[in-house]
Amino acid sequence: MDHVDHSIHSVHHLPKIVHLACPSRFEQDMTTMPLSFNTFTQLENFGHSLRASSYRFCPTNADEIYAVFQLAKETGLTVTTRGAGRSYNDASLNGGGIVLDMSGMDQILEWDSASGLVRCEPGVTLKQLWQCVEPDGWWPPVVSGTMKTTLGGCLSANIHGKNNFKVGPIGEHVLEFTALLPMGASVTCTPNKNADLFYAMISGLGMLGVFTSITLMMKRIHSGLIAVDARPVPNLNRHLSDLFENAPHYDYIVGWLDTLVHGKSLGRGQIHGARNLKEGEDPNAQQTMQLSYQHLPDRLFGVMPKSLLHYFMKPFVNNLGWWGVNTAKYVTALRKHTFRQSHAEFHFLLDYVPNWERSAGRGGLIQYQSFLPKETAEDTWREMIQLSHRRGLPSYLGVTKRHRPDKFLLTHAVDGFSLAMDFKVTNHNRAKLSQLLQEFDRIVLEGGGRFYFAKNSETSAESTRAFLGEETIEKFKKLKKRCDPNHLLESDLYRRIFCR
């Protein structure tokens, strides 16, 4: 391990950092568990469609993480790190092994409101982060569609936002991180120091080490509001050309795609292009940047508690119900319009209804997200959507984004677009759905596309090899051998995509 720099570097080369009282323990409900085997727990993916029982430990510092690695070595068990468990697939599941639940390492360690630099423990959620920095006029540079994810999970998947085409994935905004390797060494990485590990651990699915602290640069904002243009698009061709042509005019762009409609209207939907307000555009900026202004309302129409909404959504989660919802959504979106909304509302729409994924019923839901070059996206997605219709397994929700490539080792991005499709899982359709998604993989590979390992549940080792290429896989395996020679770090996802 002598080629890895083991020293823990202070952030002395960064601007002066001051300690502030930040809200940093919003959702902590875990207690520190002793190192014993009385914590065998069943864990699930975000969509409740996959389950695995594991020994769960909740470390509060690097020493406790190392103690778990030693225990794993002695017992022959493998270890998976888990952030908030918001991956749609098996990324943070480890059947029969150990799960390191990082929710106890959730302190915002340093925040400098003058420079926008923040240093956090890995269990800090995006919610903690934006609530800490927004009142000072900053916003996280890249966020997922939910604020419940942790920074450790976001780095391991190298998440993308609705601004991926402009600012890349979250990894491009990381100045430095420290990670504990399973052998007990602590390593500090920046884009220039231990650069090979920097570009591999970010996107590395938690398979090389455990992030213990993360330094990120925030983005300056001049208002708590964002200006959104919403416009309809009548078919897939116009959908993708709108994303392509209009992305340069916005900070964020995202499309909703009606995955149920056939024929000439296939791919119709609505595009939202959004831009941050410039200095002076919001006369009440100080007020709109306060947390009270960013709050997502607790009740729908001021009456129905949001916490009960998913029960009422359940009857609509079938072909007819979603056809009605999608048609109504398209018809009401026919008029082009512009509006302002808070950052929290724009970015975290999916958090508006707590537990919305429960509306899919007992079998849960999964998401399939494919990334296609701009030249092949239209034909590839037409083929996939038509195939899902023929198989009687339509997706209920489709979301499109515009992307650009990045240089992280297990990158999922392309110069093109992504389409995320949600599927309801039932006992009846589970096997058929699995087959459909494997056919999707074949079609995506033919189109020169890529997959996102935080989402797809069916991608096989063979498809992974075809998509990443032998050279990348060899590089990753070499780093794995160097960082984790005893192969302690494994997850259900890792075994599925690298070992079978």
Ligand X SMILES: Cc1cc2nc3c(=O)[nH]c(=O)nc-3n(C[C@H](O)[C@H](O)[C@H](O)COP(=O)(O)OP(=O)(O)OC[C@H]3O[C@@H](n4cnc5c(N)ncnc54)[C@H](O)[C@@H]3O)c2cc1C
Separation of alpha carbons 173 and 83, rounded Å:
19
Min dist. Cβ of residue 457 to ligand X (A): 12
Alpha helices by DSSP H, 247-318: 285-288, 291-294, 306-313
Closer residue to ligand X (CB): 99 or 266: 99
Site string for ligand X, 416-455 (x = CB under 6 A): --------------------------------------x-
To ligand X, the closest distance from the beta carbon of 221 in angstroms equals: 19
Using CB under 6 A, which of 11, 77, 79, 91 touches ligand X?
91
Q: How far is it, in rounded angstroms, from Cα 187 to Cα 184?
A: 10
Work out how close the CB of 253 gets to ligand X at its nearest, in angstroms, rounded to a whole number.
13
With H, G, I as helix, E, B as strand and everything else as coil, classify residue 177: strand
Q: Tell which one of 363, 491, 496, 498 touches ligand X (CB under 6 A).
A: 491
- CA gap 416, 165 in Å, rounded: 9
Q: Of residues 209-268, which lie at the interface with ligand X (CB under 6 A)?
A: 210-211
| Cβ at position 144, least distance to ligand X in Å | 3
- The CB-of-286 to ligand X minimum distance in angstroms stands at 29
Least CB distance from residue 412 to ligand X, whole Å? 8
Binds ligand X by CB under 6 A, chosen from 54, 60, 92, 464: 92
Interacting span for ligand X (CB under 6 A) from 32-40, 77-85, 370-378, 441-449: 77-85
- B/e letters for 118-137, b = 16+ CB within 10 Å, e = fewer, are bbbbbbbbbbbbbbbbbbbb
Q: Which of 86, 402, 403, 480 binds ligand X (CB under 6 A)?
A: 86
Taking the complex as a whole, the smallest distance from the CB of residue 156 to ligand X amounts, in Å, to 3
CA 246 and chain centroid, separation: 24
Residue positions counted in the chain: 500
Structure tokens at 92: 């943070």
d(CA 441, CA 439): 5
Q: Minimum CB separation from ligand X for residue 2, in Å? A: 23
CB of 335 to ligand X, least distance (A): 27
Among 97, 116, 122, 269, binds ligand X (CB under 6 A): 122
Which range binds ligand X by CB under 6 A, 56-64, 79-87, 297-305, 422-430? Answer: 79-87
Bridge partners of 64, per DSSP, are none
Alpha-carbon distance of 52 to 90, in angstroms, equals 9
Is 459 near ligand X (CB under 6 A)? no
| Closest CB 125 distance from ligand X, rounded Å | 7
Query: Alpha-carbon dihedral of residues 228, 398, 322, 51, nearest 10 degrees?
Result: -120
Tokens of 493: 């996802």
Binders of ligand X among residues 194 to 213 (CB under 6 A) are 205-206, 210-211
C-beta closer to ligand X: residue 131 or 491: 491
Q: Provide the mask over 132-171, with x wherever binding to ligand X is found by CB under 6 A and - wherever it is not.
A: ------------xxx--xx-xxx-xx-xxx----------
CA pair distance 134, 139, nearest whole angstrom: 6
179 versus 261: smaller Cβ distance to ligand X:
179
Taking CB under 6 A as the criterion, the residue among 24, 78, 81, 294 binding ligand X is 81
Burial class of residue 382 in the structure, from the number of CB atoms within 10 Å of its CB (0-12 exposed, 13-18 middle, 19+ buried) = middle
* 223/456 with CB nearer ligand X: 456
Cβ pair 472, 450 in contact under 8 A: no
State the minimum distance, in angstroms, from the CB of residue 43 to ligand X: 9
Closer residue to ligand X (CB): 80 or 294 = 80
Residue type, 168: G
Given the complex with ligand X, which of 4 and 159 has the nearer CB atom? 159
The two tokens of residue 422 are 């949600």
How many angstroms separate the CA atoms of 6 and 2, rounded?
A: 8
Residue list 14-73, contact with ligand X (CB under 6 A): 46
**What H or E segment, with its residue span, contains residue 44?**
strand 40-44
Tokens of 337: 């319009």
Among 102, 243, 365, 372, binds ligand X (CB under 6 A): 102
Q: Which of 24, 54, 78, 80 binds ligand X (CB under 6 A)?
A: 80
Contacts of 99 (CB under 8 A, 6+ apart): 41, 43, 54, 55, 56, 57, 79, 80, 81, 82, 92, 93
Nearest to 133 by CA among 120, 149, 152, 146: 120
Stretch that binds ligand X, among 86-94, 109-117, 266-274, 439-447 (CB under 6 A): 86-94
- Residue 338 is given by DSSP the state E
Place of tokens 């002695």: 74
Q: Residue 356 CB, nearest distance to ligand X (Å)?
A: 8
Which parts of this chain interact with ligand X (CB under 6 A)?
46, 80-87, 91-92, 102, 122, 144-146, 149-150, 152-154, 156-157, 159-161, 205-206, 210-211, 350, 454, 491
